[in-house]
Structure 1
Amino acid sequence: MNFPTNSRYQATETMRMTAPGGAEVVFLQRRFVPQPERLASLLEHPVAEGDRLDNLAGRYLGDAEQFWRICDANRAMRPQQLVETIGRRLTIALPDGVPGAPRV
């Protein structure tokens, strides 16, 4: 499986197994979400009425499809929850492994 470079699964390896009956099954290894404390913060965004994660990712990360990076940086299990509370401060961070300013 090949995923685009902006996919959260791009660096996730695939595995193969043989199912009962002999069919080969290809699947993704488990993706571990990075600990937000390890991510270098770019900025904080106060949630405003009408904010959407794809629009925020487009504005701050240059790619709306990388909304998952905002989710990772804010420990979101339900992405929509991040923009439900007006005034909540969302961390916008660099990808895991990219050095930058430490988080406070």
Structure 2
Amino acid sequence: MTSPDRGSRHFGTPTYRREVDGVQGEPLLFEPRLRTPPEATTRHRVVAGERLDLIAARLLGDPHRYWRIADANPTAGVDALEEPGRDLDIPDGR
């Protein structure tokens, strides 16, 4: 397993190795960790047809960072985050 890239939500998260029959293998899974939602610096009102990846591409510079928007808005499921008229907290940084 390769280490996640810097843009990944798992970057810097510890891994563990599972021992099977006395042999330690490759890293298997990332340990769960508690994440504090990033401090939002911008608000964005969702319009019809927008998706989190499109919003992330435009406002964060990378569509794969949609998870940062989801983490900044933890009270709603992903589908609810894309509802037109919803105000989203957008985390700072690219």
TM-score, structure 2 length as denominator?
Answer: 0.81
Q: 1:9, 1:31 within 8 Å by CA — same for their partners in 2? A: no
Q: What are the Cα deviations for residues 11-44 of structure 1, in whole angstroms up to 9, with x where unaligned? A: 111111313x33534221113221x3xx322211
Offset at 1:63?
Answer: 0.7
Query: Which blocks of at least 5 consecutive residues in structure 2 are unaligned?
Result: none
Offset at 1:75?
Answer: 0.2
The verdict on how the C-alpha distance between 1:77 and 1:9 changes in structure 2, with shifts beyond 3 A counting, is farther
Q: In the alignment, which residue of structure 2 is the partner of 1:50?
A: 49
Letter in 2 for 1:24: Q
Query: Please, what is the CA RMSD of the aligned residues?
Result: 1.9
Distance in 1 separating the partners of 2:15 and 2:91: 27
Letter in 1 for 2:18: M
Identical residues among aligned pairs (%): 33
Q: In the alignment, which residue of structure 2 is the partner of 1:89?
A: 87
Query: Which blocks of at least 5 consecutive residues in structure 1 are unaligned?
Result: 96-104
The number of aligned residues is: 90
Dislocated runs of 4+, deviation >4 Å: none
Q: In the alignment, which residue of structure 2 is the partner of 1:24?
A: 24
